[in-house]
Amino acid sequence: MTGEREVVITSSADVVAVRQLVRSVAIEVGLSLVDQTKIVTAASELARNALVYAGGGDVRILVVENGHRRGLKLIVTDDGPGIPDLELALTDGWTTGNGLGLGLSGSRRLVDEFDLLSGPGKGTTVTVTKWAR
Amino acid sequence: MSVQADTARRRIEELLRTNEEQIIGRWAKIAKASSEELSELYRALLASLDEGKNDLADIRGLLADLSRSRARAGFAPSDTARAVFGLKEVVFELAESDADWAEAAGGLVWFSRLIDDLGLYTFETYTDAREKIILDQAEQLLELSTPVVKMWDGIVAVPLIGTLDSARTQVVMEKLLQTLVDTGAEHAIIDITGVPAVDTQVAQHLLKTVVAARLMGAECVISGIRPQIAHTIVTLGVEFGDIVTKASLADALAHTFRRAGIEVGRARQAHVSIRAENA
Task: For residue A19, list chain B residues with Cβ-Cβ distance below 8 A.
Answer: 163, 196-197
Nearest-Cα distance to chain B for A104, in Å, is: 9
pLDDT score of B105: 76
pLDDT score of B2: 60
pLDDT score of B107: 79
pLDDT score of B143: 65
Task: For residue A16, list chain B residues with Cβ-Cβ distance below 8 A.
Answer: 163, 165
Contact A39, A26 (CB under 8 A): yes
What are the φ/ψ torsions at residue B81 (nearest 5 degrees)?
A: -65, -40
Q: Pick from A33, A48, A102: which is nearest to B236 by CB?
A: A102
Ranges of each domain in chain B: 3-141, 149-276
| % pLDDT > 70, chain B | 89
Task: For residue B227, list chain A residues with Cβ-Cβ distance below 8 A.
Answer: 33-34
pLDDT score of B56: 75
- This complex has an ipTM of 0.83
> Is the model more confident about A71 or about A98?
A71
Alpha-helical (H) ranges within B51-151 are 57-73, 77-96, 101-144
Taking CA atoms, B276 is separated from A79, B154, B264, in Å, by 61, 11, 9
According to DSSP, the residues that pair with B156 across neighbouring strands are B150, B188
As a whole number, mean pLDDT of residues B139-163 equals: 82
Pick among A32, A76, A100 to test the B interface (most B CBs inside 10 A):
A100
Check CB contact under 8 Å for A106 and B204. no
Q: Pick from B201, B229, B238: which is nearest to A37 by CB?
A: B229
- DSSP state, B160? E
Check CB contact under 8 Å for A48 and B201. yes
Residue type at B202?
A: V
Task: For residue B199, list chain A residues with Cβ-Cβ distance below 8 A.
Answer: 41, 44-45, 48, 103
Q: Sorting pLDDT into bands at 50, 70 and 90, what band is A1?
A: very low
pLDDT score of B4: 66
Q: Pick from B166, B229, B235: which is nearest to A110 by CB?
A: B235
Strands (E), B134-218: 149-152, 155-161, 187-194
Q: Pick from A40, A99, A105: which is nearest to B237 by CB?
A: A105
Domains defined along chain A, listed by start: 4-131 (3.30.565.10)
Q: Sorting pLDDT into bands at 50, 70 and 90, what band is B214?
A: very high
Which CATH class for the B149-276 domain?
alpha beta
DSSP A2-60: -SEEEEEESSHHHHHHHHHHHHHHHHHHT--HHHHHHHHHHHHHHHHHHHHHHS-EEEE
Is any Cβ of chain A less than 8 angstroms from the Cβ of B235?
A: yes
What digits encode the pLDDT tens for the residues B242-274?
899 999 999 999 999 999 998 888 776 666 666
Contact B228, A34 (CB under 8 A): yes
Question: Which CATH code fits B3-141?
Answer: 1.10.490
Task: For residue B229, list chain A residues with Cβ-Cβ distance below 8 A.
Answer: 37
d(CA B20, CA B256): 77
Q: Pick from A34, A37, A109: which is nearest to B237 by CB?
A: A109
Check CB contact under 8 Å for A103 and B200. yes
> Is the model more confident about B192 or about B102?
B192
Is any Cβ of chain A less than 8 angstroms from the Cβ of B237?
A: yes
Pick among A41, A107, A109, A112 to test the B interface (most B CBs inside 10 A):
A41
Other CB atoms within a 10 A radius of the CB of residue A101 amount to 18
What digits encode the pLDDT tens for the residues A78-115?
999 999 888 898 998 888 888 888 989 999 999 999 99
pLDDT score of B8: 77
Task: For residue A23, list chain B residues with Cβ-Cβ distance below 8 A.
Answer: 196
What digits encode the pLDDT tens for the residues B110-148?
888 888 888 888 888 888 888 888 888 877 776 666 788
